[in-house]
Structure 1
Amino acid sequence: MFGLANPERFMRFTGPLTPWLWGVAAVLLAAGIWLSFTAPGDYQQGDTVRIMFVHVPAASLGTMVYAALGISSFFALVFRHPLADAAARAAALPGAAFTALALITGSLWGQPMWGTWWVWDARLTSVLVLFLFYLGYMALRSAIDDETKAARAAAVLGLVGLINLPIVKFSVDWWNTLHQPASLLRAGGSSLAPVFLWPLLTMMAAYAALFLAVWLTAIRTEIVRRRVMSLRARAALEA
């Protein structure tokens, strides 16, 4: 990881890798969508159960991407890792998109199952707070003109937001909530039938590959942007 902190080495390593990730993401998404639509309806939820194949991966990636953002912020703030700030910045937008998708699909799933679009349930509220942390991170970076100060302030906020991740994960265990407990990763194994488990795992792998493709592309773009800004600043000084 520290070897890839060098921008030149990072660009050489990720150059051929990124197109493959886009291809893997496309194949997995196609397979996941096909499996999701060919899976049978649930005996209680009917075809509404198919929302799970979009909602669960989006919710999982929303939390995992914020963990990546927080860890990158830590390295950027404490160790001045050369690419850590770029990695944190690049993770914010896709992470916010995954979290927003989880909130939207959760509401669409909750309305027929619970009879309401939204409740101030511990899980729902903590995921909403997670989404607000994403928005706050991006807003803070945009609000400060000095990029160095903006990066430092956003890194602090990114670290603070890590406190919310255990709450998101364990909220259904710590409090009596309307949201169902974990059915995929739990003691004793998954409670999902194979006809639902395999489409779900495929979609989760597709979302993960898609995020990695987007993340690496965004980091590479950020490196190029900073190089251009540096060249412009140098040219202005010489002029």
Structure 2
Amino acid sequence: MIPIMKKRLVCLAFLMLFYAMTPMSLLAYEEEEELFGPISTEYFVPYLAPEPAEAAADTIEPSLPQPLLYEVRSGDTLSNIARSFDVSVRDLMALNEITNPNRLAVGQQLSIPPDFTGVEAIGGQSGVIRQVLSTTLTAYTAGYESTGKTKSSPAYGITSSGSKAEEGRTIAVDPAVIPMGTMVFIDGVGFRKAEDTGSAIRGAKIDVFMNDLNEARQFGVKKNVKVYVLAAKEAI
């Protein structure tokens, strides 16, 4: 009697192992339950149908970054333009087919070599840069500590341009250096718009608007930060 039971147990174990490695339909599962009683599902491995082979993707040539454009201003020289973008005068001349580095016209647009490191930071998009500044950055809030205004004041949070100050967009500038409404790209900060002024903001100094006073204080003073002033038509 015992050998017969052992044989049945061995057969049952073999069947369970067989079905654990074989796709099982719901009908087959029900038939086994009728023959052997309920079978624990912990022994079954779910069957995953093989995914159809994907067609080989077409090889796409990577696109080259588009060069930025710089608009020549009065007093510019090819050497100081090259220095502003950390590129060589030779590369600048070659890209723009300049034969005489001393002949630049105000308003002339120069392409900046695409390997300029700032291209990636600015987003890899082409645009016209009107000026490159080395600035000092500070931060401010709409609060009394920065503006002298309280929350009960009708002008609380309102910029000199009349817009509501917004973190991630608003900066205070000296309009004599950066005209109001101008878009700029601040290295390490991102795109901002000149919407406000301040009594302490003179020359190449920019105040970055923030909502939180502690964050503004932690921002501190950052010197020699490059700021790319975009031409008016390059609105972001």
TM bucket (normalised to shorter chain) is under 0.3
- Which one has a bigger Cα radius of gyration? 2
TM-score with structure 1 setting the length:
0.20
TM-score with structure 2 setting the length:
0.20
Higher helix share: 1
Higher strand share: 2
Q: Which has the higher contact order (CA 8 A, sep 6+)?
A: 1
